[in-house]
Amino acid sequence: MRGGTPEGITSQFFAIGGGDLPTRETFEVDKMVVQSSGRARPWTLCITAAANDGPDACDSFGVIYGDALSCRTDYLRIIKGEPGGDDFKRKIHRSEVFYFSDGSLSRLMESLRKYDVVSDLKAAYARGAVFAGVGAGAACLAAFGLTDEAHSDPVEGLGLVPFGICTKAEDSVSGDEPAQKASAKFGKSAVVLDYMSTLHVVEHQFEVFASPSARVHVLGGSNPTVYTSNTELQSLAVRSAGKGEKARV
């Protein structure tokens, strides 16, 4: 095994800083998400707790991932569903792609923990399922997450990587100070994702996709790094904010 993943299985996720799914702002990345599964019609599970399981989030996902990208789609309506009503674990077990909608990061993580599916999601990632999230859905994938949501605090995430992910709204004026404070609080580096920027993590490597005005900013350690354009796969070694030690994905 390598990094907790059986040989021959690749763990990967797409963290999208922000973008509008129904108007196809993120469509090129959405296509890559589906293609990365290696399946023609993968079972794709949309987790909409951040959006309070609202119908708009579900409908948009169905139009893009179901109609446009030909996935077999399902939904984990963990807030609207009654405890024990929806078979959450069965849906997670069969799914090959997971999509986390934008909204409230704190509500998303509280719901996942309340209904005891965090370990199931981590197991799905370890077996090679492709994860993707936008906004709060991207921030939840890391050791900790932070969004531009008003009065929000950093929240412990799923921990798929040993650093934080902080996402910014399209009209963000917050700068990097909130992410720097979150990084110091958790003692871990933070990756700041602008609106319309994407961090694609593949095992021990990463690549960046960004619109001309967007950036991906790695905070922590003595040498912060800014990525402002697309990159090729390269080694992902981010420094601990506290000790300056390298931590590999």
CA 183 to chain centre: 18
* Domains of the chain, each with CATH number or no CATH: 12-248 (3.40.50.880)
Predicted TM-score (pTM) of the model is: 0.86
Q: Which of 205, 247, 171 is nearest to 18 (CA)?
A: 171
Each residue's pLDDT expressed in tens, for the chain with a length of 249 residues: 333 444 556 899 999 999 999 999 999 999 999 999 999 999 999 999 998 888 899 999 999 999 999 999 999 988 766 555 458 889 999 999 999 999 999 999 999 998 889 999 999 999 999 999 999 999 999 999 999 876 678 999 999 998 999 998 887 777 788 888 998 999 888 899 999 999 999 987 888 888 877 878 777 655 557 666 555 545 544 433 333 333 333
Helix axes 105-114, 118-126, angle to 10 degrees: 100
Residue pair 53/60 in contact (Cβ under 8 Å)? The answer is no
CA distance 71 to 180: 38
Kindly list the strands in the beta sheet with 97-100, ordered across the sheet, starting from the edge strand earlier in the chain: 72-76, 43-47, 97-100, 130-134, 12-16, 197-202, 205-210, 234-235
